[in-house]
Structure 1
Amino acid sequence: MKLAITYTELQDYVASHFKKTVNIGYVDGATVSVSVPIKVFGFTKSVGINLIVKKIEGTDLFLSYDGKMGIDMLVSPAISYAKKLVPEKADWVEQMSGNIVKLRLGDIDKVQKVFEKVELKAIRFTPEHIEVDVALL
């Protein structure tokens, strides 16, 4: 079964639920660009990162990342900061060597019920949307 969400739908969801502006765009079949506007000395600058789906193992999603403006140096502190803000959820994100982040999706309370019914097979990006392949169990 294929599930799809457009980049606009995802951006709107983030804006309405988290009050943050996020721009998401297609790069290639395995890569999506995510950027946020930040204000620097009265100017708005977009800071972005490319997220690449490397592999899926069970309910674990492995992403690699790259970006400009020292993004590599910001990811580790950002993950550490997020873990301190929400310590009860800290275990579901693990930073690994080689700019890899492991997301333990099956450890997220609201997603656990989903993984009882489906198996995550693939995540692909198209110019129009994010496509998720799942198999019913």
Structure 2
Amino acid sequence: MKLSITYAELQDYVAGHFHKTVNVGYVDGDTMSVSVPIKVLGFTKSISINLIVKKIEGTDLFLSYDGKMGIELLVSPAISYAKKLVPEKAGFVEQMPGNIVKLRLGDIDKLQKVFEKVALKGIRFTPESIEADIALL
């Protein structure tokens, strides 16, 4: 079974729930681009990062990232800051060597019941949407 969400739906969700402008888009079947506008000295500059699906092991999703402007120097502090903001969820994200981030999706309270019924088999990106391939258990 496939579930999909369009990039526009995802952007609208982030804007509506977090009041942040985020632009997401297609790069290739394994990669999507995420960019965020920031203001620097009166100018608006877009900071972007490519997220690449590397593998899925059970309920763990492994993503690698790359980008311009020293994005590697921004990701680690951002993850550390998020862990301090929400310490009870700190174990959900693990930064690994080689620009890899491990997301423990099964540790998210709202997803635990979902993963009792389905298994995540894959994630791919199309020009219009993000598609998740899941199997009923």
TM over 0.5: yes
Deviation at 1:84, TM superposition (A): 0.5
Matched residue type, 1:127: P
| Local SS of the residue matching 1:116 | helix
* 2:68 aligned residue: 68
Corresponding letter in the other structure for 1:104: R
Aligned mates of 1:5, 1:44 — CA distance in 2: 28
Runs of 4 or more consecutive aligned structure 1 residues displaced over 3 Å after TM superposition: none
Alpha-carbon distance, 1:41 to partner: 0.8
Which residue does the alignment assign to 2:41? 41
Q: Which runs of 5+ in 2 are unaligned?
A: none
**Fraction of identical pairs, as percent:** 85
What's the counterpart of residue 93 of structure 1? Answer: 93
Superposed displacement of residue 67, structure 1 = 0.4
Aligned length: 137
2: CA distance, partners of 1:69 / 1:87: 29
Partner of 1:129: 129
Aligned alpha-carbon RMSD (Å): 0.4
Q: TM-score, normalised by structure 2?
A: 0.99
Corresponding residue number in structure 2 for 1:11: 11
**SS of corresponding position for 2:47:** strand
SS in 2 for 1:44: strand
Match of 2:53 in 1: 53
Where 1:15 maps in the other structure, the secondary structure is helix
The alignment partner of 1:91 has SS state of helix
Give the equivalent residue in structure 2 for 1:104: 104
| TM-superposition CA deviations, 1:59-105 (whole Å, max 9, x none) | 00000000001100110111011001100000010000000000000
Report deviation, 1:113. Answer: 1.0
TM-score, normalised to structure 1's length? 0.99
Where do 5+ consecutive residues of structure 1 fail to align?
A: none
CA-to-partner distance for each residue in 1:8-61, whole Å, 9 max, x for gaps? 000000000000000000000000000000001111110000000000000000
Alignment of 1:77-92 (within 5 A): 77-92=77-92
